[in-house]
A = this chain, B = another copy of it.
Amino acid sequence: MSEFERIETGLGEECGVFGAYDMDGGDVASSVYYGLFALQHRGQESCGIAVTDTYGKRKVLQKKGLGQIKDVFDEEELDKLKGNLGVGHVRYSTAGATRQENAQPLVINYVKGTLAIAHNGNLVNAIELREELAYTGAIFQTTIDSEVIAYLVARERLNVGKAEDAVKNAMKKIKGAYALVVSSPRKMIGARDPFGLKPLCIGKRDNTYFLASESCAIAAVGAEFVRDVLPGEIVSFTKHGVTSDKSMMISPDKQARCIFEYIYFARTDSRIDGVDVYHARLVAGKALAKSYPVEADLVVGVPDSGLVAAMGYSEESGIPYGMAFHKNSYVGRTFIKPRQKDRESSVKIKLNVISEVVKGKRIVMVDDSIVRGTTCANIIKMLKKAGATEVHVRISSPPFLHPCYFGTDVPSNDQLIAHSHTTQEICEMIGADSLGYMEVSKLKDMVGDMGFCDACFTGNYPMEVPDGDISMAFEEL
């Protein structure tokens, strides 16, 4: 799937999280702003920043809104967010469930003061937990899992002396995927689910600590990458320093990092759990070259996420790499999509073929996935019209066959071409001369020894998952 197909077909990640804590008491809102900018690819539906002054009134100031960072915040508002502890969030959401009240961070007052929670991921037992909470008098003002987590933390906090322990006790109850950044009145806490489904890492710049979904955000604020938060680890930052609680960790072979972070979600320049995303994609491209060699003149990638895998294919196969497409970078959410009565096509507006590059050539075209197949078919058509004599499609992920319960918004089965067609059929439907999907068995080459989750390809979920479409369930509650 080319990147711009994302919005239309609905394959998406739920969130990006970012935290900053300046031990010297300086304001961090602008750092959170720039950190979120680097995570904007993880969600453009809504965003928010909540800050606390840990040396002052410890009151949370917040600003949230629908849209991208650059649209929600202006300089004046950023300046108002005074505080040395900040939590930020960008949220992806399908159109139907876009709601102002679901924007994060979630800021709550509870018995011990104020908490701001930013959460990336999805719980699989949220419905049960909500019901359980409701039966003891809880009320819910959003449809996001973060509210369940907030409740659990608030309730556990009544029994334990430290916010970190409340987070740990809450983690014992919740099941699913989560990377959390929490600000309590005096500390910043980061936590990652024991499977490590969602990424989270630590950065440092002078006396300011950062937490971020991806290392690219650490780089964006000019900080040094320190390390990844470990799957199941809870890290805590206070004026006294940094502490770590690893008691929730599980055996490494049970860990299940989302492989799709490497294939598609994460930025090319990020490094997650010791593996460069660039490297993983390069390896995927090489694997494709080994599995599906073909005689051709040029390897091209569909921008932007197919480019590195295409380089890998080129490197392995010896076929030259080229730039076949120009992507229009001005297209955004407010862009008016062509309607039935318009004569233009959405793909043409977003992507154009550079004829000079492809004409008369046999092309290997690498992309990261195929969802409905229509975009892919259109691109192949454009290549052939521009003079390509053959188009061999290589996809750097296996076919989607199973739903994700951990926060990746995979389209329903009837929209997935791979669900009801064989590779051969798909090849014909999209008009390719040959088609090769990444083999499941080779995914492990991308990430080395690490445990990872490939359930969307294999159905092998790392934990028990519910029946049915859980995201709808929340909305309906």
Name A's B-contacting residues (CB within 8 A). 30-31, 33-34, 37-38, 40-41, 44, 57, 59, 64, 68-71, 73-75, 78, 100-101, 106-111, 115, 130-131, 134-141, 143, 150-151, 154-155, 158, 205, 216, 219-222, 267-269, 271, 276, 278-279, 304, 307-308, 311, 321-323, 325-326, 328-332, 334-336, 338-339, 341-345, 348-349, 352-357, 476-477
Contacts and interface: CB of A to CB of B under 8 A. Distances in A.
Nearest to A282: B356
A342 B37 contact: no
A205 to B, nearest CB: 7
Given A59-B476, A222-B348, A331-B37, A135 B158 contact: yes
A154 B136 contact: no
Contact of A137 (B75, B135, B158): B158
A141 B108 contact: yes
Q: Which 10 A-B pairs have the closest CB atoms?
A: A137-B155, A111-B134, A269-B326, A108-B139, A109-B140, A276-B356, A40-B330, A269-B354, A269-B352, A139-B154
Contacts of A34: 338, 342, 344, 349
Task: Determine the main DSSP class of A at the interface with B.
Answer: mixed
B136 A342 contact: no
A388 to B, nearest CB: 14
A343 B307 contact: no
B334 A70 contact: yes
B108 A332 contact: no
A258 B108 CA distance: 33
27 contacts: A30-B341, A31-B342, A37-B349, A59-B476, A68-B330, A70-B334, A70-B336, A71-B334, A75-B336, A109-B140, A110-B134, A110-B139, A111-B131, A138-B138, A221-B344, A222-B345, A267-B352, A268-B323, A269-B352, A276-B354, A276-B356, A279-B356, A304-B329, A308-B323, A311-B322, A321-B321, A329-B329
A477 B269 CA distance: 43
Given A323-B308, A477-B109, A220 B334 contact: no
Contacts of A154: 134, 137-139
A216 B279 contact: no
Contacts of A271: 355-356
A421 B344 CA distance: 49
A162 B326 CA distance: 40
Residue among A68, A74, A137 with max Cβ neighbours from chain B (10 Å): A137
A109 B330 CA distance: 33
A387 to B, nearest CB: 12
A59 B97 CA distance: 13
B141 A354 contact: no
A330 B37 contact: yes
Contacts of A40: 328, 330
Nearest to A90: B330
Contacts of A108: 139-141
A205 B41 contact: no
A61 to B, nearest CB: 10
Contacts of A136: 136-137
Nearest to A311: B323
Given A342-B30, A354-B268, A332 B70 contact: yes
A59 B96 CA distance: 14
B68 A268 contact: no
Nearest to A77: B336
Contacts of A59: 476
A138 to B, nearest CB: 7
A39 B185 CA distance: 39
A336 B134 CA distance: 39
Given A75-B336, A323-B307, A336-B33, A348 B219 contact: yes
Contacts of A325: 269
